[in-house]
Structure 1
């Protein structure tokens, strides 16, 4: 492990003392808000010195304070001058130089405001002579190169070379809380912390102040540990204390450091990770710290097959969320097999599968997970056969289409227009506290993107066609492809304003915190919280007067429903929503009854004799006739039309619809 660390830690991090510039995106705080101050900002965007000065001034308005305060630190500011008018010596006692203080003392120490001091001083300096410290314009003391105060400082420091002493005042001194000192750690532990800091710098996901690093260093030094790997993550958490301390920075950094060192020790990609019963997905190129745990699959032979199946599926581009669902389904199947004493793959036949299907039905009937568990098991068994991972699987171990539960027709999810009118009210939209969230909401409503796709938009997401019409280009993460959707001019302009606000950030909606390089987009959970707070502020109500409860995905359904009810062809709606199949579009875009009625009124209905069946849309029987036709279409649909007989009557023409006088049809059935 020591050799790996020596090979991994770069020279700039392999030092006992680490100092980072103010502009460092991870360890620096940015420049102080006070202009020309070069120290790193910490509290409220001010360096330590100016922050203390701001607090001492009673915490005035930050912008006014930063613009008006002296940018120099105390040691760079001029020393106090003697209060006697015309005297250029530095104050020594009571606001007076040594000479005038002696005269004042001999005068009986009168009230300084009433004392008339002699202006003349013995042995004044040569004309133009001032203290050698650049920012100090006081007269030098006696034959020295410095004023009274600087001369005393020079003497206390051992009378160093004058030029060396002067340069100290020109330097921007680094305070101790900006320095990381690792000399108190054991050699390997020091390398491990250096490696963790290097990884934090290479993966800038959050700020890590030197003060936090030093708090961790002091904690580790007190444990006398030689390596972070000497203890498990839980043991280190206990060492820090439970519950977690108020300042969780050192604790989080310790957990991160141990994780990085473990990854270095166990590096090797799939070849090293496959045999482990807990896969750390970050070691396999996935973001975050998710794991796939196979520890609950008791059978080694089945555990190995499930691993091979998931490795193959992940290699084809499967997402971790779907992979986790597959592991969950196969884990449940493994527990069931153990319960009924299945000891080999050869024992899994159709009888076993039927028993398992019955067990699934007893527990999950009616839930979406029911069909998902069956589907995952079916894909697993198919993959075992397809790839010949184990030819002992019986040929009769099959899942048939009839084994899947019938999916209930899901109700429409589009929002009512009454709700949408409140949401799209400009006065309500203006109540968003962050213009980025307002823009994200408009993109979701008008472009129909999924919330993750909208929040992950790159900054350069706008394109135009040959006619100058704007389009939004985005990554369809679900379909793993890029897509384009047309947008209106207002949305085009609002996106342009957001591009200006984010500057050079690579994403349109950068996360506001823990995002030093502005590469990470705002999280879906963050946007949802802002959305729900906005809905509460605007008091958006549903048709029953209750506070509306919605999800951002419902706007995608709403757009599809709006388009289909405006007679936009379903194929066009499919392309706008970037669906793979018309069936999915049909689930999103539902026809309103009013739309169906409009088309019914426009259709030319004929009876069995070919005569047009006319009914004035505004006539007294229009609503009743519409209700009858709607029921007839729903309950008495025929191959080439529909029945005009009220549903309460019995039919005297059994199986003779095409010759029945109550048979109605329209020109849509002509091809039949």
Structure 2
């Protein structure tokens, strides 16, 4: 607020006094007040050239080193203003208070012994967390509240009682929350599984597994017997299922608890209430029950898909109850059958319209996007990753394959596995730049490709979904994304995944390949994009090796024993199925448009591939190109001759490398066969 800077002179010409409120001395501040109440600024008041007011000689300011005249209380205008703002401390202590502001600290001296220990523990916790700083003003606010309350411990009052005394947005609210939770853990050092609220960070899950998963609130299940059984069931599920999946199922039991409270108020505390009649009634109750959660869903009815989800989760719970013999025993007729589940509607076509994609992919629009978010857009567009999988990418996510291609390795949270998929050239370049930016900021300490922007001094946390989405939405508004009818449009991250699957299906890619690229564990989602059967799966000779050549004539081998050979086959499968061109195949990624023009053709493209069986086509093309070059040169058409000369050079280079590789392969085969001939001769 500028209090630590030296006190300055009043800006009125010739005024010898110090400036206080509104940058004016006290006398000029009084004259300025009517103008200020009318909306005028200090500069507008100074433009009127106010007269200088000279006071009598009453001495100099008592603050050490201050040269300005005294106003009252032995202080000048400026120091008296600061003295009032600091709570009117004793004048002898005033310099020490100001010095404390220059070198701030956390004062615990006025607290009782137990409170002093509690607030010291709070400082220790916040220091170890290293997520945010504690403003001195908010700290003093919390300390004053505790002192004025006259309590022996912060635990003497509830969190709501403390927070209602603090304005929203004040850090002191978070200080009380952190302290009370920590003190509760100290006084009640039970097992986390026994609590009614499970915190993922205390259940042994790492940061990657608990990404964005909120605490599991079993306390919202009103019936104690049901709450304990659901906790036991969830602990069993967490042994084999992803934390995020299990946490998402908890709302189904919140709904069932609400049903028991509303429909069976007198019997809700008895497990015997769960008979077939109650379950049938629950199925009908879900149709009419409104959503009571605050926000945009408030008052809405559940869709058939959501009702099917709630019933299926309850069905699995009842089966586990019966199978593992939970106590008390489940009534014999408590069954939910498959026929009881509602028929859900088909999956929604959630891909991005190509009219919108043309605006999103335009280079002039992508140039307006800051590099980090642009990299994320390219990854979601070309690789089809779920946004959660992209957020947790590591800086070592790129792996080089024997053929020279790149694979993108990511963690698939749905089945707790790491997958490798082909990476497009655009994604490889973007990730390389992002890795460089991460190292410039954190050095080698950060393992995340997209580290958190704030509250992340050591690079321990990845960027939040909220931060990334705010950037993306702001960019969409900046480029004025509109649909074909000229109306403002918006897209979300997951739609890029659907768009890639739809593009591949429209281009004739097999269902097997789409499933491999998008990482689906079942055929249900793949059938959402395409029902085309793959009648040309990996052939027998591909299981051993296959040779292709890029435009530079370099051999591209696919070996079943090579590292990540499945990625090699997948990348080749996509290119071969999608882009068959004269004399070879195009290995360009499906999400990227072909840059070929009539003047250059495929021989000048880095994605062009061929094989020895197609050499006769390239030899014929070379002969016709040389004929055109000679004819153009004889006719004096220099540009046409030069163009055909470049084409001939590219074709010769490709042919030379193919012949060279064939010779090397033949020589290797002879060398490997020689020992066998010698062995047979010796045996003879």
* TM-score with structure 1 setting the length: 0.58
CA 581–513 in structure 1, closer or farther in 2 if over 3 Å, else same: same
Equivalent residue, structure 2, for 1:443? 379
Equivalent of residue 175 in structure 2, options 250, 253, 269:
253
Equivalent residue, structure 2, for 1:565? 506
Equivalent residue, structure 1, for 2:412? 476
CA drift of 1:391 comes to 6.1
Equivalent residue, structure 2, for 1:644? none
Q: Any idea what SS the aligned residue of 1:180 has?
A: coil
Q: Any idea what SS the aligned residue of 1:181 has?
A: coil
Q: Residues 376-525 of structure 1: matches in 2 within 5 Å?
A: 376-390=313-327, 392-432=329-369, 434-503=370-439, 504=443, 505-525=446-466
Q: Any idea what SS the aligned residue of 1:474 has?
A: strand
**Which structure is higher in helix share?**
2
Q: Which structure 2 residue ranges, 5 or more long, are not aligned?
A: 12-98, 290-300, 533-576, 578-684
2:226 is equivalent to residue 302 of structure 1: yes
Instruction: Give me the whole-angstrom Cα distance separating, in 1, the residues matched to 2:196 and 2:415.
Output: 30
- CA contact under 8 A between 2:221 and 2:254: conserved in structure 1? no
CA drift of 1:281 comes to 5.2
CA 280–188 in structure 1, closer or farther in 2 if over 3 Å, else same: farther
2:113 is equivalent to residue 187 of structure 1: yes
Equivalent residue, structure 2, for 1:234? 160
CA 309–175 in structure 1, closer or farther in 2 if over 3 Å, else same: same
Instruction: Describe the superposition over 1:58-102 as per-residue Cα deviations: whole angstroms up to 9, x where unpaired.
Output: 9xxxxxxxxxxxxxxxxxxxxxxxxxxxxxxxxxxxxxxxxxxxx
Instruction: Describe the superposition over 1:167-215 as per-residue Cα deviations: whole angstroms up to 9, x where unpaired.
Output: xxxxxx9865432232222222222122222222222222335564444
CA 208–551 in structure 1, closer or farther in 2 if over 3 Å, else same: same
Equivalent residue, structure 1, for 2:480? 539
- CA contact under 8 A between 2:221 and 2:253: conserved in structure 1? no
CA 372–329 in structure 1, closer or farther in 2 if over 3 Å, else same: farther
Instruction: Give me the whole-angstrom Cα distance separating, in 2, the residues matched to 1:406 and 1:237.
Output: 47
- CA contact under 8 A between 1:329 and 1:377: conserved in structure 2? no
Instruction: Give me the whole-angstrom Cα distance separating, in 2, the residues matched to 1:188 and 1:289.
Output: 35
2:492 is equivalent to residue 556 of structure 1: no
Q: Residues 590-601 of structure 1: matches in 2 within 5 Å?
A: none
- CA contact under 8 A between 2:356 and 2:482: conserved in structure 1? yes
CA drift of 1:385 comes to 0.8
CA 254–493 in structure 1, closer or farther in 2 if over 3 Å, else same: same
Instruction: Give me the whole-angstrom Cα distance separating, in 1, the residues matched to 2:463 and 2:220.
Output: 35
Equivalent residue, structure 2, for 1:318? 243
Instruction: Describe the superposition over 1:253-272 as per-residue Cα deviations: whole angstroms up to 9, x where unpaired.
Output: 222222222222222223xx
- CA contact under 8 A between 2:249 and 2:313: conserved in structure 1? no
- CA contact under 8 A between 1:455 and 1:521: conserved in structure 2? yes
CA drift of 1:585 comes to 1.6
Give the superposed CA RMSD.
Answer: 3.2
Instruction: Describe the superposition over 1:510-533 as per-residue Cα deviations: whole angstroms up to 9, x where unpaired.
Output: 221122222222211221121111
Higher relative contact order (CA 8 A, sep 6+): 1
2:255 is equivalent to residue 329 of structure 1: yes
Equivalent residue, structure 1, for 2:187? 265
Q: Any idea what SS the aligned residue of 1:183 has?
A: coil
Instruction: Give me the whole-angstrom Cα distance separating, in 1, the residues matched to 2:428 and 2:527.
Output: 29
CA 493–277 in structure 1, closer or farther in 2 if over 3 Å, else same: closer
CA drift of 1:589 comes to 4.9
Q: Residues 37-436 of structure 1: matches in 2 within 5 Å?
A: 52=5, 176-209=102-135, 212-238=138-164, 240-241=165-166, 243-244=167-168, 248-270=170-192, 274=194, 276-279=195-198, 282-285=201-204, 290-316=214-240, 317-319=242-244, 321-335=247-261, 338-339=264-265, 341=267, 344-363=270-289, 364=301, 366-390=303-327, 392-432=329-369, 434-436=370-372
- CA contact under 8 A between 2:352 and 2:495: conserved in structure 1? yes
Q: Any idea what SS the aligned residue of 1:580 has?
A: coil
Instruction: Give me the whole-angstrom Cα distance separating, in 1, the residues matched to 2:255 and 2:188.
Output: 28
Instruction: Give me the whole-angstrom Cα distance separating, in 2, the residues matched to 1:391 and 1:174.
Output: 64
Q: Which structure 1 residue ranges, 5 or more long, are not aligned?
A: 1-42, 59-172, 592-598, 600-672
Q: Residues 628-667 of structure 1: matches in 2 within 5 Å?
A: none
CA drift of 1:368 comes to 2.7
- CA contact under 8 A between 1:310 and 1:323: conserved in structure 2? no
Pair member with larger Rg? 1
CA drift of 1:323 comes to 4.0
Q: Between Structure 1 and Structure 2, how many residues are aligned?
A: 422
CA drift of 1:331 comes to 1.6
- CA contact under 8 A between 2:501 and 2:529: conserved in structure 1? yes
Q: Any idea what SS the aligned residue of 2:264 has?
A: helix
Instruction: Give me the whole-angstrom Cα distance separating, in 2, the residues matched to 1:212 and 1:340.
Output: 48
Q: Any idea what SS the aligned residue of 2:106 has?
A: strand
Instruction: Give me the whole-angstrom Cα distance separating, in 1, the residues matched to 2:202 and 2:368.
Output: 44
CA drift of 1:236 comes to 0.9
